[in-house]
Amino acid sequence: MANIQITGLVEDTSPSATDVLVKEDSGGISTNKTPLQYVATAPQVHYMYKAATELTISSDEITVTQSAHKLQPETGTSDDLATISGTVDGESGILFITDEGTDTITIKHGTGNIDIVGGSDLDLSNGAVFWYSDGTTIYVIGGGGGGGGGGGLVPGGRITLTTGIPVTTANVTAATTIYYTPYVGNDININGTALTFSETSVSVPATTVTPFDIFAYNNSGTLALETLNWTNDTTRATAIAIAGDGRYYKSGDTTRLYLGTGRTTGVSGQTQSTTSSRLLWNMYNQIDRAIQVKYEASHAYTTGSYRAWNANTTLGQAKTEFLIGLSTLVDLIMSAAWEAYDTNDVGPRIAIGLDSVTASFGSLYIDGLTASGADLYGYSIPYKWYCAAGYHYMQASEYGYSPSGNALYVGQHYSWMG
């Protein structure tokens, strides 16, 4: 079908959000709802927005009046944006920062009417976000950490407890320093700025049994690290948020790139990573980190309630521990063995509890069989689950029956990426 040229139209230089414009173009026809103008000049399609106007956030809210706006915090250099008003069903637009690289607007997921791809808050300090309205909810994608250079957006190093060794194979205890060591490369991109780095370090915080996040930042062209303590084993004092480059930064500060999480031991200023205690977790360049223990102690238990296996809560025997910075898949194999002395002896139930001594976790338990005579028997079961961020321990426990055979052995072998 031939193009139809429409002539004699008057250009409206101040369209409203609900106007329908037709723009004459020498290369073809164009129609669309403004303020976005669609220009069809086959074989190319061009999108043109009206020049952006500035909106200042008020009580975490803005009211849009056209498709393109630049944003100012209500006060200072940072603010939250939870609600976008003034839209109609089918409308879309662009938001960016007036003072790019200086101000940071945290767009809040699920607090007001905004729904962000990925389900997390988004820090906007560079770049832009695209939004679409269904008349009620504002759907947001894109945003602001910058891009390109420095080997891409995956940093080249790993956090480790041993200088010069990005992946430790030996147990490391009483570590007082966190190192960031080149692994797959020595480039890192922070908020759009590419840096080449050599190994750098930061001291373990002077706390006890407290998680802490590790951040990278640009210190006048040199990579530097800093830590930030959590409130407790499950709660960050300051959240991390996804910026427009798809990576996690300290919420409200896209100059601080999240690298991972550690946890101090019972000794101030120390942490560790061993086969029974993994207290350092990497966000990038993850590898499979195994945790495994085997505890043997022949004993009988006939009480009909859970307790620690052989009443033992010693780390590295019937107990292990680990830390993760973001929810991740944990892959576990539990094993157990019993010995029966007489017919009708029943071995105690052997279980693994997640953060509990007095209950099994899900289906992580094995019931002892009723014996037909003196016998040895054992089992193992696999189990996988997505574990919440924070500190966790796995405790072998048991539930007794009477008469009882002896419980001989319990083992844990599990792993996660970190």
> Using H for helix, E for strand and C for coil, what is the string for the chain?
CCCCCCCCCCCCCCCCCCCEEECCECCECCEEECCCEEEEECCEEEEECCCCEEEECECCEEECCCCEEEEECCCCCEEEECEEECCCCCCEEEEEECCCCCCEEEECCCCCCEEECCCCCEEECCCEEEEEECCCCEEEEECCCCCCCCCCCCCCEEEECCCCCCCCCCCEEEECEEEEEECCCCEEEECCEEEECCCEEEECCCCCCCEEEEEEEEECCEEEEEEEECCCCCCCCCCEEEECCCCEEECCEEEEEEEEEEECCCCCCCEEECCCEECEEECCCCCEEEEEEEEEEEECCCCCCEEEHHHCCCECCCEEEEEECCCEEEEEEEEEEEEECCCCCECCEEEEEECCCCCCCCCCEECCCECCCCEEEEEEEEEEEEECCEEEEEEEEEECCCCECEEEEEEEEEEEEC
Note whether 244 and 127 are within 8 A (CB): yes
Asked if residue 25 has pLDDT above 60, the reply is no
CATH code linked to domain 288-417: 2.60.120.760
Q: Is 266 exposed, middle or buried (0-12, 13-18, 19+ CB in 10 A)?
A: exposed
| Predicted TM-score (pTM) of this structure | 0.63
Range in 19-33, 98-112, 351-365 the model is least confident about: 19-33
pLDDT tens digits for range 118-142: 667 788 877 788 888 988 999 887 6
Give residue 233's pLDDT band: very low, low, confident or very high (50, 70, 90). Answer: very high
Give residue 94's pLDDT band: very low, low, confident or very high (50, 70, 90). Answer: confident
Structure tokens at 88: 């109609």
CA dihedral 289, 121, 103, 262 (to 10 degrees): -20
Domain boundaries, the chain: 53-142, 157-238+253-282, 288-417
Range in 46-50, 130-134, 273-277, 396-400 the model is least confident about: 46-50
Structure tokens at 269: 């200023």
Mean pLDDT across the chain, nearest whole number? 80
Asked if residue 224 has pLDDT above 80, the reply is yes
Mean pLDDT of 289-308: 81
Note whether 413 and 290 are within 8 A (CB): yes
| Cα gap 273→261, rounded to integer Å | 12
Pairing type for strands 114-116 and 78-81 reads: unpaired
